[in-house]
Amino acid sequence: MIKKLPGKTVVMVGGGLTAGLAARQLTGKNIDVLVLERGTDHSKGAEARLPTQRDELRWDTHQGLVQDWSVQTYTLRYSGNEMALPVRWMEAFLPGEGLGGAANHWNGHTWRWSEYDPEIRSRNESRYGKAAIPKDMPLQDWGTTYKEMRPYHELFEKLFGIAGKAGNINGKIVPGGDPFEAPRDGEYAQKPLELTLAGMTFKAAAEQLGYKPFPTPAANSSSAYTNPDGMKLGACQYCGHCERFICEAQAKASPEVLLYPLLKTRKNFEARLNCHVLGLTYDRAGKKVTGVHYVDRLTGQEYEQPADVVMLGAFTMTNTKLLLTSKIGTPYDPVSQTGVVGKNFCYQLGGGINLFMKDKWFNPYLATGSTQVYMDEFNNDNFDHAGLGFLGGAGINASMFSGRPIAQRRLPPGTPRWGTAWKKANADWYQHSMNIGMQGSCYPHRENYIDLDPTYSDAYGQPLIRMNFDWRENELKLSKYVAAKQTEIAKAFNADIVSPASTMQAPFDIRYYQSTHITGGTIMGKDPGTSVVSPHLQHWDAQNLFVVGASVFAHNSGYNPTGPLAALALRVGDDMAAYIERPRIL
Site for other proteins in 159-178 (CB under 8 A): none
Q: Report the run of H or E that residue 20 belongs to, with start and end.
A: helix 17-27
Number of H helices, E strands in the chain: 10, 25
Q: Interface with other proteins includes 89 (CB under 8 A)?
A: yes
Please choose, from the candidates 11, 563, 16, 535, the residue with its C-alpha nearest in 3D space to the C-alpha of residue 316.
16
Is the separation of the CB atoms in 328 and 282 below 8 Å?
yes
CA-to-CA separations, 355 to 79, 216, 404, 497, in angstroms, rounded:
37, 20, 18, 6
Q: Interface with other proteins includes 511 (CB under 8 A)?
A: yes
Q: Interface with other proteins includes 88 (CB under 8 A)?
A: yes
**Residue (49 or 264) nearer to other proteins, CB:** 49
The distance of closest approach from Cβ of residue 367 to other proteins in the complex, given in angstroms and rounded to an integer, is 8
Given its phi and psi angles, is residue 287 left (phi above 0), alpha (psi -120 to 50 degrees) or beta? left
Please pick, from the candidates 507, 526, 529, 583, the single residue that binds other proteins as defined by CB under 8 A: 507
Q: Interface with other proteins includes 415 (CB under 8 A)?
A: no
Q: Of how many residues is the chain composed? A: 586
By 3-state DSSP, what share of the chain in percent is helix, strand and coil, each rounded to 5?
Answer: 25, 25, 55
The distance of closest approach from Cβ of residue 381 to other proteins in the complex, given in angstroms and rounded to an integer, is 30
The distance of closest approach from Cβ of residue 508 to other proteins in the complex, given in angstroms and rounded to an integer, is 7
**517 catalytic per annotation:** yes
* Strand pairing report for 302-312 and 8-13: parallel
Site for other proteins in 32-51 (CB under 8 A): 50-51
Query: Given the rule CB under 8 A, which of 236-244, 274-282, 322-330, 536-544 is the region that contacts other proteins?
Result: 236-244
Is the separation of the CB atoms in 441 and 371 below 8 Å?
no
Please pick, from the candidates 120, 510, 518, 577, the single residue that binds other proteins as defined by CB under 8 A: 510
d(CA 7, CA 32): 10
Please pick, from the candidates 11, 12, 34, 236, the single residue that binds other proteins as defined by CB under 8 A: 236
Q: Interface with other proteins includes 494 (CB under 8 A)?
A: no
Q: How many residues bind other proteins (CB under 8 A)?
A: 62
Strand partners, 96: 66
Site for other proteins in 434-473 (CB under 8 A): 455-457
Please pick, from the candidates 281, 363, 415, 462, the single residue that binds other proteins as defined by CB under 8 A: 363
Q: Interface with other proteins includes 9 (CB under 8 A)?
A: no
Instruction: Give the full edge-to-edge strand order of the sheet including 85-86.
Output: 85-86, 74-77, 463-468, 449-457
The runs of H, that is alpha helices, within 253-412 are 255-258, 260-263, 316-325
Q: Which of 517, 536, 539, 555 is catalytic?
A: 517
d(CA 333, CA 342): 9
Q: Interface with other proteins includes 85 (CB under 8 A)?
A: yes
Please pick, from the candidates 20, 143, 240, 521, the single residue that binds other proteins as defined by CB under 8 A: 240
Annotated catalytic sites, by residue? 517
* Interface residues toward other proteins, by CB under 8 A: 50-52, 54-57, 61-63, 68-70, 73, 76, 78, 83, 85-89, 91, 194, 196-197, 235-241, 249, 360-361, 363, 365-367, 403, 405-406, 409, 417-420, 423-424, 426-427, 430-431, 455-457, 507-511
